[in-house]
């Protein structure tokens, strides 16, 4: 009970407070802490409001005869919430991971995918550059307004100008606006977020360029009559450099694709085994169940059973959760644009 309460407190209270404290634009620790409490209280109030509305709707539509019925309803809602999260997050990864490995084994499919991704990455990079230019232009306008002043707010503006130099592409008028501490804290937070978003977009774009250069070098080598690869746009990588130049053609264009396909088949079989184990785990004698095999192999050594089961659960969750969250993030970015 205590570990669950600790994890719940960390996820719902401690970690959100730390994130809001780091994201706050205030300079003093006291005001940053107050800002973090305010933002989290606002968030928790919204969550509790939605929960209260849902609870009122359920109480009006579902017939409850006793407190035991109400308790059973809460347990069912909690289990439904957990199962929906598991299906949405882990279920997508069980399909996406082997499919991605199989697609990467094809050179033409990888090229089409990298070209499609490059369009989105370029647009994200352009948007991040425009946003950073707007923020830096706003800071530059305030710096010009604060010339001749020697107060804490003016010094704060000068520090922001040093960290975010004006690129001269966006001019933001600030006439009629009032320079206050709350406004500067918000401007500081916007400048930090735009800078981080720009760095992330540039890093993603550079990664796509390296990947595209690697694929185009392989495509050029596959379209020639020779049996060598000329690395004009990329490098073969650490493992590829260990392969002699005369064998690189065979390694990159013959061996690696078949290894990727074989690995995709193995991962697919593992995904099917995981789903099958979830279906038959309540049977008295489950057939080909990973859970049953693990229990029988431990021979009632409960500590070994606990360690193995936790390792499998955490490994499966971590591996499958990444592509699921990546897909959900792309969906929200699409509808938010």
Structure tokens given for 138: 């706003």
Residues 100 and 323 sit within 8 Å (Cβ to Cβ): yes
Confidence of residue 274 (pLDDT cuts 50, 70, 90): confident
Give dist(CA 103, CA 264) in Å, integer.
9
| 144 Cβ contact partners less than 8 Å away, ≥ 6 residues apart | none
Q: What pLDDT shows up at residue 215? A: 92
The end-to-end CA distance of the chain, in Å, is 43
3-state secondary structure of 235: coil
Residue 323: pLDDT band with limits 50, 70, 90: low
Q: Cβ of 306: how many Cβ atoms within 10 Å? A: 11
Q: Which of 130-144, 169-183, 186-200, 317-331 has the lowest mean pLDDT?
A: 317-331
Helix, strand, coil content of the chain in percent (nearest 5):
80, 0, 20
CB 107 within 8 A of CB 219: yes
Residue 100, SS3?
A: helix
pLDDT in the model for residue 337 = 44
- 8 Å CB contact between 84 and 91: no
Query: Could you report the per-residue pLDDT of 32-60, keeping only the tens digit for each?
Result: 888 888 888 998 899 889 888 988 887 78
Q: What is the pTM of this model?
A: 0.74
- CB 173: neighbour CB atoms within 10 A? 9
- What value does the mean pLDDT take over residues 131-147? 88
What confidence category does residue 89 fall into, taking pLDDT thresholds of 50, 70 and 90?
A: low
User: For residue 261, what pLDDT band results from cuts at 50, 70 and 90?
Assistant: very high
More confident position, 100 or 8: 100
Task: Report the C-alpha gap between 317 and 324 in whole angstroms.
Answer: 10
Percent pLDDT > 70 in the chain is 80
Average pLDDT over residues 209-223: 90
Asked if residue 134 has pLDDT above 60, the reply is: yes
- Structure confidence at residue 206 as a pLDDT band (50, 70, 90): very high
Cα 123–129–131 angle (5° rounding)? 100
Reply yes or no on whether the pLDDT at 260 is more than 80: yes
What pLDDT, in 10s, does the model give residues 163-172? 888 876 667 7
Residue 332, pLDDT above cutoff 60: no
* CA distance linking residue 9 with residue 307, whole number of Å: 25
Mean pLDDT for 103-112 is 91
The first and second tokens of residue 296, run together, are 């029988």
């Amino acid at each position: 009970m205590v570990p669950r309460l600790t994890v719940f407190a960390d996820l719902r209270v401690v970690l959100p407070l730390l994130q809001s404290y780091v994201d706050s634009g205030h300079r003093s620790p006291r005001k940053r802490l107050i800002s973090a409490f305010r933002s989290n209280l606002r968030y928790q109030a919204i969550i509790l409001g939605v929960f209260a509305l849902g609870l009122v709707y359920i109480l009006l539509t579902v017939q409850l005869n006793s407190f035991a019925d109400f308790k059973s309803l809460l347990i069912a809602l909690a289990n439904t919430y957990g199962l929906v999260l598991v299906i949405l997050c882990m279920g997508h990864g069980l399909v996406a991971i082997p499919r991605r490995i199989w697609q990467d084994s094809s050179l033409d499919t990888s090229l089409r995918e990298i070209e499609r991704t490059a369009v989105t990455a370029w647009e994200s990079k352009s948007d991040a550059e425009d946003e950073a230019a707007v923020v830096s232009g706003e800071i530059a306008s305030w710096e010009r307004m604060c010339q001749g002043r020697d107060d804490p707010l003016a010094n704060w503006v000068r520090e922001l100008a040093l960290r975010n130099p004006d690129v001269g592409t966006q001019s933001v008028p600030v006439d009629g606006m009032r320079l206050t501490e709350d406004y500067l804290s918000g401007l500081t937070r916007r400048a930090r977020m735009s800078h981080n978003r720009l760095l992330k977009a540039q890093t993603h774009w550079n990664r796509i360029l390296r990947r595209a250069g690697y694929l185009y070098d392989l495509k050029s080598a596959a379209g020639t009559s020779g049996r060598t690869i000329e690395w004009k746009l990329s490098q073969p990588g650490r493992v590829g450099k260990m392969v002699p130049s005369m064998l690189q053609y065979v390694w990159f264009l013959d061996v690696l694709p078949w290894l990727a396909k074989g690995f995709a088949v193995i991962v697919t079989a593992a995904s099917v085994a995981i789903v099958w184990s979830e279906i038959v785990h309540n049977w008295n004698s489950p057939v080909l169940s990973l859970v049953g095999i693990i229990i029988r192999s431990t021979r009632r050594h409960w500590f070994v059973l606990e360690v193995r089961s936790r390792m499998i659960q955490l490994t499966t969750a971590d591996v499958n959760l990444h592509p699921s969250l990546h897909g959900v993030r792309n969906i929200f970015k699409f509808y938010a644009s």
